[in-house]
Each structure stands twice: as C-alpha cells, then as structure tokens.
Amino acid sequence: MKKRIIQMIIAVLLFSVAPFMTTQASASTGNEIVNYAKSLSGIAYKYGGSTPSGFDCSGFTSYVYKKFDVNLPRTAASQYGAGTAVSKSNLQQGDLVFFNNLGAGISHVGIYVGNSNFISATSSKGIATVSINDSYWGKYYVGAKRVVNEETTPVATSEPMSDVYSDVPLSHPALNAILTLSQDGVINGYKNSTFKPENSITRGQTAAMLNRVLNLNANHPVQFTDVAKSNDFAADIAAMNEVGILKGYSNGTFGIYETLTRAQLAVIVDRAFELQEKADAQVRAASIYHDVPSSYWAHDAIIALKSIDQTKVFQTANFKLNEDASRAEFSAAIYSATK
C-alpha cells in the first residue's frame, strides 16, 4: 500500500511540473541553437557549402538546425516558406531572419541571436555576427520565421541548388559567374528568387549589362529608329554603338528586342574586352570547335572566348553558332573576360 501511495505521489508531481518542463525546453532550444551557431564563428564562406569546411548562408542555417532535429529546406528562399512569420519587434533567439541584398527576392538568411544581432555566413567575413539594423543589412531586411517548434520538410530536389537562385544547381558550370555578376549588379535575377539561366537575352539587354561593367558615356543621344530616347537602355545602346562594340543596322534600327546568338556574343565580348589579345596563342590553337570553320566571320573571337573560359561553359566539342545566347552563357563570358 505504501509503495502504491509513493507511485501516485510521483505521478502527480510529474504531471504538475510537465508544462513547466516543456516551456523550459522550448526557451532553452533557441539559446542552444544560438550558442551552437556562435561556436562556428570564423569558418570561411563557400558557395554551396553546407559543412564546417565552408558554408553559404542557407547551408549554415540548415547545418545548425539539423543538430536540433529541425530539417530546413536548402535555399534561403525556400527557408522563407517554412515556419511561422514573426514581427521584428517579437524576435527571439533562434528565429530565422531574411534579407534581399541582391535585388532578387530572398537572397540571404541568418539566425537571430538577441540584442538586435544575427549570425550568418557572409562572403566577406565568413560566419559572423552583426546588427540586424546596421547600415548595410538594415535596408535589406525582409522578415523572420520561427521554426524551432515547427515541423519543416526539406524541399525535394534532384540536386542541391544555389543559395541565391533556386533554379541554378550547384553543379552548374556558370554558378560562380552568375553569383559574381549578380553581386556586382551586372545581371539581376527575378523577384521569385530565380535566375532563369537558359533564357535568351536581347541586344538591348546586352548593351545595358555590358555598360554596367564598362561605364561608358555616349557623346550623342541614341539615333536608332526603334529605340526611344526615353528607353531605359537608350544611353547604354548609344554608348555601345559609338565605340563600336554593339552596332546598329544599315536601315537605321538597332534591333533592341532581337535575341543575341552565341556567335554574336563572342564577337561583342571580344570587342569589349579584347579577348584575342588575352588568349594565349598555343591555347587558342588547340581550342577548336567541330562546327566553326576557320573561314567563319566570328571564328577568331569564338576561339578566343573558349581559350579564356574559366567556367567550362564553352568547353564543348561544338559551339552551336546560331543558337541564342543564354543568360548563363552571357554571365560566363563576361566573368571569364573580366577575371
């Protein structure tokens, strides 16, 4: 009987303290997440990194939360779709905080550590803690999500995707080129955190993006019949035409909305960055394409592009002269020409 009474007393005590224990566990989890995240401070930034050998921003948050049995989607944009929205005034330790610092939807994520600070993987300092309101991050803050007590599910993808763009896999040969040019403001993504790497580009877009690198000013306003002086690309088109990098047609038009072919891309980038002078003669001689005859008008520029390519985008057997140049190929060409 005495043993029975003792068992009942223990059961009552356990029941009475259970809510307190649950609250304590919930409160301590955020603090534990923060402490663990801080223990990784100083680890270098690495595109696509998700281990202590190097992290990108969502790789870092995924790794930290996985230690606490919380499975997050892989990209910053996808993580923004997890959990419950939290106002800035109600942030707690362990909340995810999100930013749009590349003009392409959600492009950065970190972990709130308290006192208006957050920790994240940054390309400049690696894993570091900064103020959520500092002069840089303050203007790019988007929102926060609480995932500590949420059941989150990983996004099913055939392969790991870029931290910034959900449609650019980490295995894409132009990944570094795309991310570098995006960070430099040369080529932008779309509002839904996609890049659409295989989309073609127009001659007007090409002029504008090239001039974001070259920063040339035209001496005269645009004169083409199909380019209004009020067009966003008018000044860039005029500048590119004046220096002979991207010229108009004999009928007085520029072809602002025409797509750019791969052969035209090679010639234009050659004119802008003098690829043939940069290309080593021996390497250039070995850089042949089966579908580019030596007599082809763009032959030298195409071969020079292949020889200076740092992305492997152009390291193929055939060049496919007349196919439209894609946004990824443009990025690879400019990246290789300017590095």
pLDDT of 2-18, one tens digit each? 445 444 444 443 333 33
Predicted pLDDT at 3: 47
Pick 267 or 83 by higher pLDDT.
267
Pairing state of beta strands 141-146 and 84-86? antiparallel
Tell whether the model's pLDDT for residue 238 goes beyond 70.
yes
Predicted pLDDT at 284: 63
Contacts of 128 (CB under 8 A, 6+ apart): 41, 42, 119, 120, 122
Asked if 137 and 202 sit in the same domain, the reply is: no
Contacts of 142 (CB under 8 A, 6+ apart): 80, 98, 99, 100, 106
CA 101 from chain centre, in angstroms, equals 10
Tell whether the model's pLDDT for residue 283 goes beyond 70.
no
154 assigned to some structural domain: no
Tell whether the model's pLDDT for residue 24 goes beyond 70.
no
156 assigned to some structural domain: no
Asked if 200 and 256 sit in the same domain, the reply is: yes
Distances (CA, A) of 246 to 62, 207, 211, 252, 255: 45, 7, 11, 14, 11
Predicted pLDDT at 16: 37
CA distance 14 to 83: 31
Q: Which two tokens stand for residue 61?
A: 């948050």
User: Does the model's pTM come out above 0.75?
Assistant: no
170 assigned to some structural domain: no
CA distance 249 to 255: 8
Nearest to 200 by CA among 322, 337, 328: 328
Predicted pLDDT at 28: 53
Q: DSSP letters along 204-261, please?
A: HHHHHHHHHHH----SS----TTS-TTSTTHHHHHHHHHTTSS---TTS---TTSBPB
CA distance 311 to 99: 28
Asked if 201 and 120 sit in the same domain, the reply is: no
- State the total domains in the chain: 2
307 assigned to some structural domain: yes
CA distance 164 to 182: 10
Tell whether the model's pLDDT for residue 143 goes beyond 60.
yes
Nearest to 127 by CA among 51, 43, 66: 43
Asked if 69 and 113 sit in the same domain, the reply is: yes
Contacts of 136 (CB under 8 A, 6+ apart): 101
Q: Maximum CA pair distance of the chain?
A: 107
Tell whether the model's pLDDT for residue 297 goes beyond 50.
yes
Asked if 76 and 129 sit in the same domain, the reply is: yes
12 assigned to some structural domain: no
Predicted pLDDT at 210: 97
Domain that holds residue 83: 30-146
- The strand pairing partners of 161, in sequence order, are 169
The predicted model gives 119-139 an average pLDDT of 93
Residue 282 banded pLDDT, cuts 50, 70, 90: low
43 assigned to some structural domain: yes
Asked if 217 and 322 sit in the same domain, the reply is: yes
User: Which of 172-176, 278-282, 305-309 is least confident?
Assistant: 278-282
Of 163-167, 168-172, 190-194, the range with the highest mean pLDDT is 168-172
Predicted pLDDT at 235: 96
